[in-house]
Amino acid sequence: MLAFIIRRLLQSMIVMFFVAMVAFLMFNYVGDPVHQMVGIDTSHADREKLRVSLGLNDPVPIQFLRFMGNAAKFEFGISYQHKRSVTGLFKERLPATLELSFVAAFLSLAIGLPMGVYAGVKPDGWLSKIFLSFSLVGVSLPTFLIGILLIFIFAVILGWLPSYGRGEVIILGGWWSTGLLTPSGLKALIMPAITLGLFQLTLIMRLVRSEMLEVLRTDYIKFARARGLSNRAVYFGHALKNTLVPVITITGLQIGSIIAFAIITETVFQWPGMGLLFLQAIHNVDIPIMAAYLMLVAFFFVVINLIVDILYYVVDPRLRVDLGKANGS
């Protein structure tokens, strides 16, 4: 187990290293950081002073090490556009994105999984066909289109839900702003969460369905039937658990990409999260924010992947013993 996790950690670190390198290259070579930070009327000497103080004249490896060290502390300097510390900006925006992402992920799992099981068990049922057609729409339509359609129906025509923003938020623990505790905050969350979760929901549903179909064809399911087990025992006891390994993998990756897809949802709904911040940074070539966003998202991905790996281990006994043997010998 430990060896396994260490191996995974090492892999994660390689990913983080690659990403850090990309972020560093962006930071240093896309445009001139000094040029971005100062006004046009700053003298050449002042620029040079800033350059030295930023360490831009040091050898590249040293700069990279310094960048890595700062990144580990999540220090990315001052945003060119906002003239504020990037860390502070992210701290402000993080709760909005995480709340939205978690609610969307929860929705997609809680609805997608049962739908997928049903469609896999009864592939010819009319409800399954409806699910499948619905899923095709969900997979095909771009996120922003779904958001716009929802706004058009529920905000413009019906006027039931707010079309932008987070509603009223409450500050917890000094910095975490939550919209989950106020009626207007919850109301504001509904459409963005559906928009963000719909794609993952349909993906999870389709995956569970096809895995279910696959597993139901295996010998051990035939044998389970031949032993006279009830349908419930066959489907939920034997089949579902065997579909979990691939489902966990994809779901893990999907939850990761929810955070990235939040960029689009946040733009459509003007949701004050990191995604919106990142998009504005792209428009304004605000490199520190772009670099910080990249590192943060990579970090989330790596953590999620680790959790996924540990879940594998819990679900599949074969893995446990292979590892046990590897440890023992």
Partner 1 sequence: MNKILANTGSKKINSVMDVLKRFFDSDLFYSYRQSTVTIVASILTLLIFICSIGAPLIAPQNPFDMGSLDLMDSHIPPTWDEEGDARFLLGTDDQGRDLFSAILYGSRISLLVGFSSVIFALILGVGLGLISGYMGGTLDAVIMRVAEVQISFPAILIALLVDGVLRTMIPDADTEHLAISVLIFSIGISGWVQYARTVRSSTMVEKNKEYVQAARVIGIRPVLIMLRHILPNVMGPVLVIGTIHLAVAIVTEATLSFLGVGVPATQPSLGTLIRIGNDFLFSGEWWITIFPAIALAVLVLSVNLLGDWLRDALNPKLR
Partner 2 sequence: MTKPLLSVDNLRIEFNTRRGTLVAVNDISFKINAGEIFGVIGESGAGKSLTGQAIIGLLEPPGKIGAGQIKLNDRRIDNLPYDQMRKIRGKEIGMIFQDPLTSLNPLYTIGRQLVETIQTHTEMTVTQAREHAVDLLEEVGIPAAGKRIDHYPYQFSGGMRQRVVIALALCVNPKLIIADEPTTALDVSIQAQIIALLKKLCNDHGTAVILITHDMGVIAETADRVAVMYAGRLVEIGQVRQVVKKAAHPYAKGLMSAIPSLSQRSRKLTQIDGTMPRLSDIPKGCAFHPRCPECMDMCKENQPGLFNIGPSQVACWRYHDIKL
In contact, 72 and 20? CB cutoff 8 Å: no
Q: Which positions lie near partner 1, rule CB under 8 A?
A: 14-15, 18-19, 26, 30-31, 136-137, 139-145, 148-149, 151-152, 156, 163, 210, 213, 253, 256-257, 260-261, 263-264, 267, 279, 282-283, 285, 287, 290, 294, 297-298, 301, 305
C-alpha distances in Å from residue 174, one per residue of 91, 93, 177: 11, 14, 8
> Which tokens go with 152?
């058009």
CB of 302 to partner 1, least distance (A): 8
Q: Two tokens at 141?
A: 């339509």
CB of 264 to partner 1, least distance (A): 6
Nearest to 295 by CA among 278, 273, 270: 278
Residues 127-162: b if buried by 16+ CB within 10 A, e if exposed: ebeebbeebeebeeeebeebbeebbeebbeeeeebb
* The entry of partner 1, partner 2, none that residue 250 binds, CB within 5 to 8 Å by partner kind: none
CB of 225 to partner 2, least distance (A): 6
Residues forming the site for partner 2 (CB under 8 A): 218-220, 222-231, 233, 237-238, 241-242, 315-318, 321
Closer residue to partner 2 (CB): 82 or 225 = 225
For residue 41, the partner it binds in partner 2, partner 1, none, with Cβ less than 5 to 8 A by kind, is none
Closest separation between CB of residue 239 and partner 2, Å?
9
Q: Please, which residue, 143 or 243, has the CB nearer to partner 1?
A: 143
CB of 133 to partner 2, least distance (A): 23
Beta bridge partners of 171: 177
149's contact among partner 1, partner 2, none, with CB below 5 to 8 A by partner kind, is partner 1
**133, 140 Cβ separation under 8 angstroms:** no
Half-sphere exposure of 325 (CA within 13 A, CB side): 5
Instruction: Give the span between the Cα atoms of 278 and 165, in whole angstroms.
Output: 17
Contact of residue 199 among partner 2, partner 1, none (CB under 5-8 Å per partner type): none
